[in-house]
Amino acid sequence: MVTEAFALHAPWMRERFMDYGELLRDRLALAATVSGPDMIQATRRRRLLCREMAAAMVDLDIIVSASQQGEAPRIDSVPKWANLEKPSFTMPFNVTGFPAISVCTGFGDGGLPVAIQLAGKPFSEPTLFRVAHAYETAMPWRARRPALAAN
């Protein structure tokens, strides 16, 4: 996915490299090192994963899974290369293009959100939105916000 983002941003990055934030700039610049043969192989594997995902969901409307391992991390504690260090629970849906949405299911010990993700078949966004809305309406989490630290 980062190579696709790099392809989109490359013209602007050539002109205004330092206008990008460090995190995005470095991640996009890393994508420039991906070779054409690597991209072709990744596209082939992506196609296979899409077929396998479609087969797995043939009798399902929605998959419910964790959005991540636990409570959301503080933004200042997320390493620059965190997305490369371990796979994300959202990655299968990001890569296949199957629609997914994360919904708060409560808060962890640090006061930050814990969430589930709902994933559906291609073009099932209206169903996902309805299910997510129904859950959020039925639960009290929607009204709570994490405390903001004072500067």
Q: Does the predicted TM-score (pTM) go above 0.85?
A: no
Q: Give the end-to-end CA distance of the chain in Å, rounded to a whole number.
A: 35
What integer best gives the mean pLDDT of the chain? 89
Task: Determine the Cα–Cα distance for residues 107 and 144; give it in Å rounded to an integer.
Answer: 9
pLDDT at 82: 75
Domain boundaries, the chain: 55-143
pLDDT at residue 151 tops 60 = no
Q: Which of the four pLDDT bands, split at 50, 70 and 90, describes residue 118?
A: very high
Per-residue pLDDT of 94-106, as tens digits, reads 889 999 999 999 9
Q: What share of the chain is helix, strand, coil (3-state, %, to 5)?
A: 55, 15, 35
Q: Which of the four pLDDT bands, split at 50, 70 and 90, describes residue 58?
A: very high
